[in-house]
Amino acid sequence: MRALIQRVTHAAVEVDGREIGGIGPGLLVLVCAMQGDDEAAAAKLAARVAKLRIFKDDADKMNRSVLDIAGEALVVSQFTLAADTRTGNRPGFSAAAPPEDGRRLYECFARDLSAQGVPVQTGEFGGDMKVSLLNDGPVTIWMDSADRA
């Protein structure tokens, strides 16, 4: 699975002009299930996100996790993280998991992150969402469950 993680002051997601999820300080996590991903990949990525130390400590160093600051997470499905832009001008998305697997693994990731102790809000899988955020820093981190044993 892939995730683009942004440290935020606040973030929200709307569908049809109605806010369906919103958080204060914490993480906006855009998530994409890839071909061949499974529940173990979702759990592994959720654990890494929960423990990712990208919040400042008293010495102004990035040493605190979302758990350490009692922050929240807004988890939004984002199949375009699977974009292949190596050829042509139109990205391809064939590396993304099929929609039924993508939905299952997105929901699994959100549950696993919540089980780590992070309060989680979500977007709407496959929905036409409008995401707003105030990136703090800015701090934006890319993670892929396949990058680490």
Catalytic residues: 78-80
CA angle 77–116–109, rounded 5-degree value = 20
Task: Tell me if residue 33 falls in helix, strand or coil.
Answer: coil
In this structure, what token pair is assigned to residue 38? 């499974």
Going by C-alpha positions, the residue among 23, 137, 125 that lies closest to residue 77 is 125
User: 93-122: string of b/e by CB count within 10 Å (b at 16+)?
Assistant: eeebbeeebbebbbebbbbbbbebebebbb
Residue 129 CA to residue 19 CA, distance in Å, equals 10
Q: Which residue has the tokens 């061949």?
A: 36
